[in-house]
Amino acid sequence: MMCFDSENEEERISRSSRRDSRARRVNTMEMWKRGTLDDRPIKERWSREFKKPKVKKIKDPTEKFDSAALEGLVLEVHRRTCVVRLLGGEVINATYRAAVVHELKEFPAVGDSVMVARAKDAEENAPYSLLRVLPRRSSLVRPGPKDKSRRELVLAANVDQVVVVSSVAEPPFNYGFADRFLLAANLCQLPLVMVLNKTDLVENLPQGVQDFISIVDKFICVSCKSGAGLDALRDVLKNKCSVLSGKSGVGKSSLVNALVPGAALNVGEVRSLDGKGRHTTTSSSLFELPFGGRIIDTPGIRELGVAEMDEHDLARSFPGFFHNDIFTCKYNDCMHLNEPGCDVLARVRSGEIPQARYESYLRILHSEN
């Protein structure tokens, strides 16, 4: 007895439409043999659009606006609005419309330079609209495939360096977090600076941490409590735009407060029940440093939901494994685990690739989420 549950029904329909298209092909063959084949391009013969062309008018996002567009810097990004500081210093809210986002294939990110304007006949307190995101000099992008709406998630724009704040104790050094930022920074060709906070709590750095900092571009040991290392950190941040990230509890707020008097971030704030803390998923904040430069305080890559990289992409593009992206392992799909002819393993054994870098790769490869 046949059973037509919904799944079978679907299958049956798809099978029959396959049969139809096969029938059409057969007909075409017949017509060709008989010399009655309509040889107009397939578009002309079949397509509804061709018969009734629909010309899609691309809206000019500026048409409704005054020519007096103003330039500004994005300080925060929310779901539909962003906080922009205009060149004149005024801080405003600008909404970004789907059309703009569609045209840019991109959402605005903290650190972007943008053009905003008010609608032509708007009142004084009407909101601004975002017209354009000016070209980016660099950006920190979440590693992994683009998400469903096929956009890259830019964590911060126009940045010079990525600064990861970790604590050496309480909570202990978080390798997974550091790995992800090291990967993201390397893939975006941005230098990574590791800030090790709470050094007042330990005599010596644990061996694992020492190994890890050997593969970052720069590291600075600080203590917000004693003030040690803060001057060295100021030197590193001076006149640069740095993305700052750190897991909860490592002392990032204490650090920002020490660097930007008046930032008034809550230290040791009670966190929400879900444990994810006070950050909303898309916002970040931008702070001007009193000694020159700025910092962008971003929620972590993990908090943003890591779109896992395809593991073969990871094996091919892991920073520091291959020169000029030339894959030198014997097998194309080598994951550098124990495959014969693996050049990465050979160079880890010879010391050319630091063991810590290889371990960072393994941690990302085997991480879940």
Binding to ligand GTP by residue 225, rule CB under 6 A?
yes
CB 228 within 8 Å of CB 283: no
Through-space distance between the first and last CA atoms of the chain, rounded to whole angstroms = 44
Task: Tell me which of ligand GTP, Zn ion, none is bound by residue 142, counting a contact when its beta carbon lies within the kind-specific cut-off of 5 to 8 angstroms.
Answer: none
**Count of residues interacting with ligand GTP (CB under 6 A):** 20
Among 160, 200, 308, 343, binds ligand GTP (CB under 6 A): 200
Q: Closer to ligand GTP at the Cβ: 229 or 319? A: 229
Query: Hey, what's the torsion of the CAs at 101, 103, 104, 107, to 10 degrees?
Result: 10
Stretch 261-280 residues interacting with ligand GTP (CB under 6 A): 267-269, 271, 277
Q: Closer to ligand GTP at the Cβ: 135 or 268? A: 268
Longest dimension (CA), the chain: 92
CA gap 169, 181 in Å, rounded: 19
List C-alpha distances in Å: 319 to 175, 242, 265, 349: 16, 20, 34, 17
CB 216 within 8 Å of CB 193: yes
> How far apart are CB 182 and ligand GTP at their closest, in Å?
19
Q: Where are the alpha helices (DSSP H) in 270-310?
A: none
Task: Tell me which of Zn ion, ligand GTP, none is bound by residue 342, counting a contact when its beta carbon lies within the kind-specific cut-off of 5 to 8 angstroms.
Answer: Zn ion
Q: Mark the segment that binds Zn ion (CB under 5 A) among 112-120, 148-156, 270-278, 333-341.
A: 333-341
Nearest CA among 334, 363, 366 for reference residue 212: 363
Binding to ligand GTP by residue 249, rule CB under 6 A?
yes
Task: Give the interface with Zn ion as residue ranges (CB under 5 A).
Answer: 329, 334, 336, 342, 344
Which parts are annotated binding residues for GTP?
A: 197-200, 246-254
Which parts are annotated binding residues?
A: 197-200, 246-254, 329, 334, 336, 342
Task: Give the interface with ligand GTP as residue ranges (CB under 6 A).
Answer: 197-198, 200-201, 223-225, 246, 248-254, 267-269, 271, 277
